[in-house]
Amino acid sequence: MSHRRKRFTLAIILLVLLLLAGAIYLRRVAPPEAARLLPESDGIVYLNFQAVRSAAHFSEHPVQHAPGYQRFIDATGIQFERDLDDAAFALHRMPNPQGPNGAVAFSDVFVGHFDGRRLANYLATLAQSQEIYAGHTIFNIPSQGRTVRVAILGYDIVAVSNTPTAEQIHSMIDRYRTAALPFAGSSLLSKHYAQVPLLSLAWGIGQIALPLGKTGGIHVMGVRLPIPVDATFIASLRWIGHIHLRIEEIAPNESAAADSTESLQMLLTLVHSLETSGGAQPFDPETRAFLDSITVERHDNRAVLMATVPTPLLEHMLTSPSGMKAVPGSGAATIPRKSATAMSSPNAAGTPANTAAPATKKKISSLKKP
């Protein structure tokens, strides 16, 4: 009897260990919680700020805080470059590009270390009204002709949306109640997340180039790319001994993928020839190394661009004071800009900030009290 009880106990322990291992595995391969909370959208961008901070050495390159951002820090205790762990952005294509939101509206989830009470008090001073939905307070903050809705979902999670209606912020609150399910999330996430390379520092899926196409085409660093603005992409940044960039365009067919591949290769050749002939300003060593590392290939119906991003170039893009620009609506606050890529993050005004950690400073601190 004792022998039977011992075998039964061992079987129970083994079963618990297997279930635990399965749960850990599912959490590793499942989308990050911030991305799972996003509503239905046309594109998703995710940034792991903990990993990016390590790669870009933020602590070694302190950025002087603009007065508006410093007031936000003093009021909330939140310093984004220090306290933000990860963030996910949903891109919603607007039917009227001339409307208050422009071509794209955004819904965002920020995960980090926040003092919920201080943040709520700060948001209350900005809000024109408040709504209680499913036990959560939604702060409705006017900003440049649109309403930015903010909800503190948990002690470490904040949801923001500047869409025309409250549907998206309601959806994020609803999804928060089922956040423990490892494969919950939007249909876009379910369809494409499995194709994102494992352990990516940042990634994007869907129509992530929408913020770059205000004038009808995708423009990067002043150059129009030969790719439709509503093309579907899978993009990623990951560390494999170096920072590896991979951007895939999912074309309608192999012929379209071949056209995109050829056009991108011709564009790269043109950029190189312009610098060589003196027709363009010489690139710095990091930018030249980045451009030299770019390869463009076609795999069936996909045009694939790959490159190595030098760490100094990433540091410069994220922290350079020369990239500072004024924050709309703040009067004084400024944020660093990053050179435009498919990886774009939004601001409170609904325009692309194209930046990593400092972009979120703009999200809340730029909102003015009416």
Predicted TM-score (pTM) of this structure = 0.78
Q: What is the pLDDT of residue 80?
A: 87
Max Cα–Cα distance, the chain, nearest Å: 89
Q: Is the pLDDT of residue 328 over 70?
A: no
The tens digit of pLDDT for each residue in 62-75 reads 667 888 889 999 99
Instruction: Compute the distance between CA of residue 273 and CA of residue 144 in angstroms, rounded to an integer.
Output: 43
If you average pLDDT over residues 25-52, what whole number do you get? 87
CA geometry: angle at 336 spanning 332 and 341, to 5°?
Answer: 135
Q: What percent of the chain has pLDDT over 90?
A: 45
Q: What is the pLDDT of residue 215?
A: 60
Domain limits of the chain? 27-365
Query: Is the separation of the CB atoms in 346 and 353 below 8 Å?
Result: yes
User: Average per-residue pLDDT in the chain?
Assistant: 79
Facing residues of 150 across strands?
139, 160
If you average pLDDT over residues 288-305, what whole number do you get? 93
